[in-house]
Amino acid sequence: MAALQVELVSADRLVWSGEASMIIARTSEGDVGILPGHAPMLSVMVDGVIDVTTTDNETWVAAVDAGFLSVADNRVSVLAEHAEMAHDINLEKARADLERCQKAGENEDDAQAALGIAWAEARIRAVEKVS
């Protein structure tokens, strides 16, 4: 069976790379599942969680913010400004970040606070998914 060659890349580093049998990601059009042989596509991602099932049947979960998902010839590239593997996320810090951003956004319509809230929520969901 063919495998997907996957690269999960943030703005400053390669977060995860390897072979996978399936990827699930959230795009602006909704959740998308990618299997070997998937048609080529380029999609805009939204803040959320990426699930990667490896060819060894392990599941890796990562939090990502807005970015791009590219699929072509069994190669999947996930490009996000921020990406963090669930096992690297400090849940207490993510919850504190969420609370701080929510308080910052209460006083005014702060776009930066909204981005911070979305990123903190994605990180929390990623950790909760593997717990």
Instruction: Note the pLDDT tens digit of each residue in 16-72.
Output: 999 999 999 999 999 999 999 999 999 999 999 999 999 999 999 999 998 999 999
Q: Is the confidence at residue 122, as pLDDT, over 90?
A: yes
Name the DSSP class of 56.
Answer: T
Rounded CA-CA distance 79/110 in Å is: 25
Name the fold adopted by 4-85: ATP Synthase; domain 1 (2.60.15)
Report pTM. Answer: 0.88
Q: List residues bridging with 25 in a β-sheet.
A: 32
Give start-end residues of each CATH 2.60.15.10 domain in the chain. 4-85
